[in-house]
Amino acid sequence: MPWWGWIALGTLLLGSEMLLVDLDFYLVFLGMSALLVGVAALAGLDDPTWIQWLLFAGLSLVTLVGFRQRVYGKLRGNVPGLGADFVDEKGRARERIEPNETGSVELRGSVWNARNEGEQPIEAGGQARVVRTEGVTLVVRGD
């Protein structure tokens, strides 16, 4: 692929992440990798296409694994608010929540997404005890 093709692909990927979709910063690193391959091709590294794609794949993997979590955490920060202070509180299920399924639970005057970690379903109106939190999702069991 010519150098300008890589630059165009990188710009498209970066623009897609920033303007169109929110994929939690994955396309940013793919776009940066494509831009780096384009810059390398522009600098005179005129390798066969399969080597360019291999370089793109390697750079994408290294940047995603090595940097994504750190950069994403610094830019977006951790999810605020939940933490351990919800553990062992009891809320009311708004609908029947089957084991390993997600539903909604009313707790502290708000409605939260909740996943039933227990072996029994939680009936609508039943108590759901918070075991832990995962992001903004409550992991619950029926009481």
* Residues 64, 95 share a domain: no
Selection from 42-51, 122-131, 134-143 with the highest mean pLDDT: 122-131
Long-range contacts of 45-51, Cβ-Cβ distance < 8 Å, separation of 24 or more: 49/1
What's the structural domain count of the chain? 2
pLDDT at residue 25, as a whole number: 78
pLDDT at residue 45, as a whole number: 82
Measured over all CA atoms, what is the biggest interatomic distance in the chain, rounded to whole angstroms? 67
Query: Is the pLDDT reported for residue 47 higher than 80?
Result: yes
Supply the range of the domain harboring residue 69.
3-76
From the centroid of its chain, how far is CA 11?
A: 21
Rounded distance between C-alpha atoms, residue 52 and residue 41, angstroms: 8
Q: Are 103 and 117 in contact (CB under 8 A)?
A: no
* Residues 95, 72 share a domain: no
pLDDT at residue 77, as a whole number: 60
Q: Are 124 and 94 in contact (CB under 8 A)?
A: yes
- The pTM score is 0.53
* Residues 55, 15 share a domain: yes
How many Cβ atoms sit within 10 Å of the Cβ of residue 38? 23
**Residues paired with 116 in a beta bridge:** 140
pLDDT at residue 83, as a whole number: 65
* Residues 70, 89 share a domain: no
Q: Work out the average pLDDT over 7-15.
A: 93
- The three state secondary structure string of the chain is CCHHHHHHHHHHHHHHHHHHCCCCCHHHHHHHHHHHHHHHHHCCCCCCHHHHHHHHHHHHHHHHHHHHHHHHHHHHCCCCCCHHHHCCCEEEECCCECCCCEEEEEECCEEEEEEECCCCCECCCCEEEEEEEECCEEEEEEC
* Residues 64, 14 share a domain: yes
CATH number of the domain at 130, please.
2.40.50.140
Boundary (domain end) residue, out of 76, 102, 120 = 76
* Residues 90, 58 share a domain: no
